[in-house]
Structure 1
Amino acid sequence: MTTLYLFGSAAPPVFEVASVIEEAQGRGWDVCLGLTPSAARWLENDVPALERLTGHPVRSEYKLPGQPDVWPKADVILLAPATFNTINQWALGLTSTFVVGVVAEGIGKRIPTVTMPCVNAAYVQHPQFDTSVATLRGAGVTVLYGPGGFEPNQPGERRPEGYPWHLALDAVARRTA
């Protein structure tokens, strides 16, 4: 069975994570859910149900030295939704959060990794964002951004078709084929 580390940042699509987990499990994947600290705060009331759904603890913090790892090793990682902050921290190697630390280390471990940003058109005007996307792509990360991936919307606007989770899960399937 393929073990998927599903990581999410604090963007509105993170509220859909239970259905994404169910879809991933329907594809035969064992899912371990990790959240940025803000996303964990957003989903605080849902964590017990998400742990029952995955059969694993939901993690948002590093374990203490000497503590055993409570998850199986990852075969593939999906970080979605990935906020402006998360993408930039990752590309710059700023690993102060569990999620960013795992995906940064995943590059060096050569774990197939997919990410799909969830950023608005104002954020992507900042020059660091395109640099960060290019850095991650150059490191072997599949970044679903632009045509065929996530395309930014205007600040405060959501697309009627919603966040394209299916593109992210299909990319994970391709990376593990």
Structure 2
Amino acid sequence: MTEVSDQHKKPFLYVVVCASGIAGDVDQLITAAQKQNWDVGVIATPQGLGFMDAAAVEAQTGFPIRSAWRSPGDPRPLPPPDAIAVAPATFNTINKWAAGISDTLALGILCEAYGLGIPTAALPYLNTAQGAHPAYPQSLDRLRGMGVLIGSYGPQRAKAGGGADGFRWEEALELLSPEVSGRARTRET
């Protein structure tokens, strides 16, 4: 594979996918983004990779799914992102990200996004037992303080089917739209 040019034509969205039962539906977010003229690349946590149909996602995006660091000198398989959506964002990823832990490619990208000023939205998906842990609201507060846009979907009752039918994948795009539009206007002036 050749290195992707930084001169990519369409805006580029990274979708960070975590290990969750609904991760297999990430094609809904990819489809919605593509309808809004985004190109999309998927970054999966190492465990998240097993929760989706990787071949189908790669066919839909036209890019390889990334889940591990590349070696020095290896080409960059994705253009730099104009925005990042973390969906579904799990309890583990939210807490590690807020703490600045960068032990996976996905977390490394998220930790660097803050310093690079990349608009980022997270759609948490966890159960109420996890949401009751004191680290979770503290992590959300820290991420919000960093400018991360947090989706409205609340924790669901544990072992009750997960509430996947109410998860709005497109909310990530709704959250990011004003941020990305504002950055585009700033670049034009």
TM-score, length of structure 2 as denominator length: 0.86
- Give the number of aligned pairs: 171
**Percent identity of the aligned residues?**
36
SS for the counterpart of 2:73 is coil
User: What is residue 23 of structure 1 aligned with on the other side?
Assistant: 32
Higher alpha-carbon Rg: 2
SS of the aligned residue for 1:12 comes to coil
Cα separation, partners in 2 of 1:56 and 1:108, compared to 1, 3 Å: same
Pick aligned residue for 1:109 from 93, 98, 116? 116
Q: Distance in 2 between matches of 1:160 and 1:55?
A: 26
Take 2:88 and 2:165, find their aligned partners in 1: how far apart are those partners?
15
What TM-score results when the alignment is normalised by the length of structure 1? Answer: 0.92
| Aligned-pair CA distance for 1:32 | 0.4
**Residue pair 2:121, 2:172 contacting (<8 A) in 1 also:** yes
Listed as ranges, the gaps of 5+ residues in structure 2 are 1-9, 182-189
Q: 2:18 aligns with which of 9, 32, 37?
A: 9
Where does residue 159 of structure 2 map in the other structure?
156
C-alpha separation in 1, matches of 2:99 and 2:44 = 19
Is the 8 Å Cα contact of residues 84 and 119 (structure 2) preserved in structure 1? yes
Alignment of 1:1-177 (within 5 A): 1-43=10-52, 46-144=53-151, 149-157=152-160, 158-159=162-163, 161-177=165-181
- Residue type of the alignment partner of 1:24: A
Q: Report if the CA contact (8 A) 2:18-2:88 is conserved.
A: yes
AA aligned to 1:4 is L
